[in-house]
Amino acid sequence: MTSLDSALEVDAERLTDADGTLLRVDGPDKVTGRAVYAAEHHFADQAYAVPVTSTIAKGMIMAIDVADAEVVAGVLTIISADHAPVLPEGDDGELRLFQSHEVAYRGQIVAAVVATSLEAAVEAAGLVRIRYDEAPADVLLRTDHPRLYAPEHVNPDFATDTTVGDVEAQLAQADVVVDATYTTPGEHNNPMEPHATIAVWDAGRLTLYDSVQGSQRARRAVAAALGIDPDDVRVVYQFVGGGFGSKGSSRPQAIVAALAAREVDRPVVCVVSRAQMFTMTGYRTPTIQRVQLGATADGRLTATAHDVWEQTSTIAEFAEQTAVATRHMYAAPGRRTTHRLVALDVPTPAWMRAPGECPGMFALESAMDELATACAIDPVELRIINEPDLDPETGTPFGDRRLVQCLRDGARRFSWAERRGRGPQRDGAWLSGVGVASSVYPARAQTSAARATAYPDGRWLVEIDAADIGTGSRTALLGYAAECLAVSADRVELRIADSALPAAMIAGGSMGAASWTWAIGKACAELQQRLDRSDGSIPALGIAVEVSTKDEVAALPDVSRFSFGAQFVEVRVNTDTGETRVPHMLGVFSAGRILNPVMARSQLIGGMTMGLSMALMEEAILDVELGYVVNHDLAQYHIATHADVPSIEVHVLDGGRSDLGRAGAQGVGEVGIVGAAAAVANAVHHATGIRVRDLPIRLDRLLPC
Amino acid sequence: MTPLGYARPRDVADALDRAAAPGAMFIGGGTNLVDLMKLGVETPAALVDVGRLGLDRIEELAGGGLRIGAAVRNSRLAADARVRQRYPVLAEALVNGASGQLRNMATVGGNLLQRTRCAYFQDTSADCNKRVPGSGCSARAGDHRNLAILGGSPACIATHPSDMAVAMVALDAVVNVRTPAGTSRTDVRELHRLPGSTPHIETVLAAGSLIESVDLPAPVEARSTYRKVRDRASFAFAVASVAAIVQLDDRRVRDVRIALGAVAPRPWRASAAEDVIRGESPSTALFESAIAAELADAEPLRGNAYKVPLLRNLVVRVLCELCGVDPPVRSLA
Ligand SMILES: Cc1cc2nc3c(=O)[nH]c(=O)nc-3n(C[C@H](O)[C@H](O)[C@H](O)COP(=O)(O)OP(=O)(O)OC[C@H]3O[C@@H](n4cnc5c(N)ncnc54)[C@H](O)[C@@H]3O)c2cc1C
């Protein structure tokens, strides 16, 4: 058992902790401001693009009046549907800017002002006058919407619906049935660094200094949107201030910058404002989820049905895979999962940390808690009783399923049985209680390439187009490369985050760590073999080996691979005010081999913290009449502050090893958020007897009115 | 580009002169005004900085009161030993507001005159009678979860968001105001007008008035507290707050002062509740009937109706604790 929770002792010289674990190699640059983020690149003659966004949610642009805007000193051009190059058709309507006078949602980009200064561009953007013919907008997700449909598949390519056995018959015969509907609101990723791009054209080739989670998708998406060859696009993204999925795909500011730079023939920077982060950069769809569980009196599941309703936009389809986790969690002879989508007059939802698993497991793990209550079985035991031998959906063996160990270990550390058994505790106005939920996230890898070079002076170079979006991957990968080469980290130079480097998986789907270490491990091993075979002399230019993991990834055996976890939460609820506070969270995870315990700890506590925010605060407040999210800034859209997270403890099970490459690593970026909200809601129920099925658990949802 | 004037005058007469120019506004820490300028809600032609007017002092008043300069920063005021000792309710209210960084910038004058946080007021693409008189109110049909249940009008249900001002109203603080015509004094509780049909006129101050200072009357021997309810543990505006000051005689409440925050267009002095309690012997039932009297005129809407039980519970709990009465044991389910 590795506790990731010990106090950090830092060896400042070597930038390691007391155990020799490498600490953030880029930490000093980041805290001193030397690390250059996308919008901080600077070109002498650069211009600034500022988007103008729609103020109606649906309708037609009748007139775009730029008379006052274009005379503002410094304005170079104004791009709009009246004045824009024709772009190719494509599936991502969010990137097909300025091609139509139709408005698909409030806050959609309808024009962009380009000027020699940011101030002039902002000023002129405010002077672009747009006359609309407004149509009634439809922005509210509901289960009886006439335009609901079954998408062809759910993100990225899972079956929309699945059925095993006769669910209805099982439910009809079950001793105990839980049938409940849960909702989660729209949630917005809001990484600290907003999306930003500087576009530089040079002889028909485009370089983007961008804030993305990976360059290969970005260059393909931007090339497709502009109708140019992906090989003519280079994406550089050395430092990225968070993404949480929202930077996994390219965003319109990259297209604005590229179009503007081509037109004005100089580098153009476009930075998304915080308010615009609530429209044009993706978000988690609101969900409505009905979960039905049937069980025997002693808690054995006989049926699981998970039906999901969610939204997309009218200009692109995104179908969150909300019920997919339910296919793999618990054994039951009957199971049904469905997803229905409706295209509303809203921005297109997209990936947000653990898309699918995160909202889906809030519903399933809440329902499991309801079942535990109904059967009068301890919620930890209920989960253990229903532990499957094989993957319930595929019948394939699990690679490394240690959910039961996570539950048992967490229960022991948390003194679960005693604290749960004691029942709610009162301290003045406060009632406290405890809750538990399981976590799950798929462990996968995708083909990646890497290059390793040996130099005669004993230095090594490792190159891979991997991303570090603030997770610490630059550090973890350097440590791993040094381990593979059996040298100390200061002899190795690692280059990442540039599409000119060997192509690799993006930082997404928790696939980075496995995909990248696989390629790096293979490159280093083959380089060692080359050196072993050679006479030992290395030319001045070095000896380089470049590899791809294509064959290995394709040859992976058919095994169900997941990371698992168990989260235990203590809550306090104020019976006068309904305020819920979370004094303690404890998570135990099984996630392959942990490459760098310090970085992994940040990821896991970060995920749990975000799950706490989801449980108690995060909520896009929709104004149905105006058709937009009203609380579009961080003063109104709340996420946890330090005071909200007094104590989070994480542990990982030892001896983990996945078969994804030599490192045996699995990502830990997402599993920590999954289940956290359910654990909080379950603890609130334990404390108060109130089952909150609609997130977030606001105080007005607990106060009797 | 729209030119913006900025001046940092060194004497009050000069400041008043500059503030009399069309479109001129005073600026304290700028933590509210600059945000609103970025949003296009405020469009001043010139800013007159109050930072060099010598208004950054905390002075003794005869009889034990304090005079707080309008430019004193919220963090300094909260840390002042005299304030902590004589007016702990004010120090508590201050440290419950905003964040450390904001309090380091925010001034007393700016805090009193900060604008509502109603989302529609802050968004120029929505309707708001306060921002554009006669344009309508998007909040009634839309999101009003944190808007007023007391003192609102059909035209406007915005709340005053300050924590500090709630404590000042409970303390019977007085604002010293300067205009070219001279000085005047206004009770903080009278500073903000109720919206009626003119929600864009927020205070009783004439245009161009400078808040010079706030006087805190001599402290009384009393127990006091400030309690703030919010959606997260820190760095969030109140959804309801209460400042209460109680003077107990033997077994009677000799005097009580209660001010409520985040429930009305101004920091709300709960006089009706005070009248019920004053002179009586403290009990849960007394406090329940006092707050019921105060809330008799409450006009909750669909989205903020929860503030009625919330305020009741909060005020009863706070008064019980201050008076040493066992608070009622409530359950939520
Ligand atoms: C994210 C965020 C969270 C916050 N949370 C809280 C909270 O929890 N509780 C809380 O109470 N507050 C909170 N605040 C608000 C904060 O307290 C106010 O912004 C601050 O007190 C305003 O003071 P200032 O000096 O910066 O005012 P400014 O922004 O400088 O001015 C505000 C207004 O006062 C006028 N003005 C300033 N000084 C004078 C003067 N001497 N005479 C006449 N007019 C004057 C200005 O013209 C302007 O109209 C928060 C603010 C932010 C941005």
What is the full per-residue pLDDT of chain B (333 aa) written as tens digits?
678 999 999 999 999 999 999 999 999 999 999 999 999 999 999 999 999 999 999 999 999 999 999 999 999 999 999 999 999 999 999 999 999 999 999 999 999 999 999 999 999 999 999 999 999 999 999 999 999 999 999 999 999 999 999 999 999 999 999 999 999 999 999 999 999 999 999 999 999 999 999 999 999 999 999 999 999 999 999 999 999 999 999 889 999 999 999 999 999 999 999 999 999 999 999 999 999 999 999 999 999 999 999 999 999 999 999 999 999 999 998
List chain B residues with CB under 8 Å of A616: 231-232
Tell me whether residue A89 is one of the annotated catalytic residues: no
| pLDDT at residue A705, rounded to an integer | 76
- With a 6 Å cutoff on the Cβ, whether B106 touches ligand 1 is yes
Q: Which amino acid is at A321?
A: Q
List chain A residues with CB under 8 Å of B121: none
- With a 6 Å cutoff on the Cβ, whether B78 touches ligand 1 is no
Tokens representing A446 are 């995708």
Q: What is the pLDDT of residues A219-240, one digit of tens each?
A: 999 999 999 999 999 999 999 9
Q: Which ranges in A246-319 belong to alpha helices (H)?
A: 252-264
**Ligand 1: distance of its center to the CA of B107 in Å?**
7
Q: What is the pLDDT of residues A569-584, one digit of tens each?
A: 999 999 999 999 999 9
Q: In this complex, is the C-beta atom of A530 within 8 Å of any C-beta atom belonging to chain B? A: no
B296: buried, middle or exposed (CB in 10 Å: 19+, 13-18, 0-12)?
A: exposed
pLDDT bucket at A656, cuts 50 / 70 / 90? confident
pLDDT bucket at A12, cuts 50 / 70 / 90? low
Tokens representing A27 are 């930490």
- Pairing relationship of beta strands A233-236 and A205-210 according to DSSP bridges: parallel
Torsion sign (Cα): A397, A401, A403, A404: positive
As a whole number of angstroms, the distance between CA A469 and CA A497 comes to 10
**Ligand 1: distance of its center to the CA of A274 in Å?**
21
Question: In terms of CA atoms, which chain A residue is nearest residue B317?
Answer: A576
Query: A252 or A705, which is more confident?
Result: A252
Testing the interface with A: which of B231, B263, B291 to mutate, by most A Cβ within 10 A?
B231
Does A123 sit within 8 Å of B232, measured CB to CB?
A: no
Residue A167 clears pLDDT 80, i.e. is over it: yes
Q: What angle do CA A230, A233, A238 make, to 5 degrees?
A: 125
pLDDT bucket at A8, cuts 50 / 70 / 90? low
Residue A20 clears pLDDT 90, i.e. is over it: no
Q: In this complex, is the C-beta atom of A636 within 8 Å of any C-beta atom belonging to chain B? A: yes
A108: buried, middle or exposed (CB in 10 Å: 19+, 13-18, 0-12)?
A: buried
Q: In this complex, is the C-beta atom of A424 within 8 Å of any C-beta atom belonging to chain B? A: no
Nearest-CA residue for ligand 1 atom 36 is: B110
DSSP H or E segment with residue A240: none
Residue A37, φ and ψ in degrees, nearest 5: -85, 170
Q: What is the mean pLDDT of chain A?
A: 96
B interface with A, Cβ–Cβ below 8 Å: 1-2, 40, 117, 119-120, 123, 125-126, 138, 141-143, 145, 229-237, 239-240, 305-306, 308-310, 313-314, 316-317, 327, 329-333
Q: What is the pLDDT of residues A592-601, one digit of tens each?
A: 999 999 999 9
Cβ A318 vs Cβ A310: under 8 Å: no
- Structural domains of chain B ordered from first start: 1-51 (3.30.43.10), 230-323 (3.30.390.50)
As a whole number of angstroms, the distance between CA B183 and CA B67 comes to 15
Give me the residue from B141, B310, B333 closest to A625, CB to CB.
Answer: B141
Instruction: Fill in the DSSP letter of residue B296.
Output: G
Cβ A643 vs Cβ A487: under 8 Å: no
- With a 6 Å cutoff on the Cβ, whether B98 touches ligand 1 is yes
Give the list of residues 6+ apart from residue A505 with CB closer than 8 angstroms, or none. A214, A445, A446, A447, A448, A466, A511, A512, A515, A516
- Structural domains of chain A ordered from first start: 27-35+446-554 (3.30.365.10), 356-443+557-705 (3.30.365.10)
Cβ A563 vs Cβ A479: under 8 Å: no
**Ligand 1: distance of its center to the CA of B128 in Å?**
20
A73: buried, middle or exposed (CB in 10 Å: 19+, 13-18, 0-12)?
A: exposed
| pLDDT at residue A36, rounded to an integer | 97
As a whole number of angstroms, the distance between CA B273 and CA A579 comes to 24
Residue A10 clears pLDDT 80, i.e. is over it: no
| pLDDT at residue A3, rounded to an integer | 60
Average pLDDT over residues A50-57: 97
| pLDDT at residue A17, rounded to an integer | 86
Residue A4 clears pLDDT 70, i.e. is over it: no
Q: What is the DSSP string of A488-542?
A: -GGGEEEE-SBTTSSP---S-TT-HHHHHHHHHHHHHHHHHHHHHHS-S---TT-
Give me the residue from A72, A576, A623 closest to B313, CB to CB.
Answer: A576
| pLDDT at residue B3, rounded to an integer | 86
Q: What is the pLDDT of residues A91-150, one digit of tens each?
A: 899 999 999 999 999 999 999 999 999 999 999 999 999 999 999 999 999 999 999 999
Q: Between A and B, how many residue pairs show a Cβ–Cβ distance under 8 A?
A: 115
Q: What is the pLDDT of residues A498-534, one digit of tens each?
A: 999 999 999 999 999 999 999 999 999 999 999 999 8
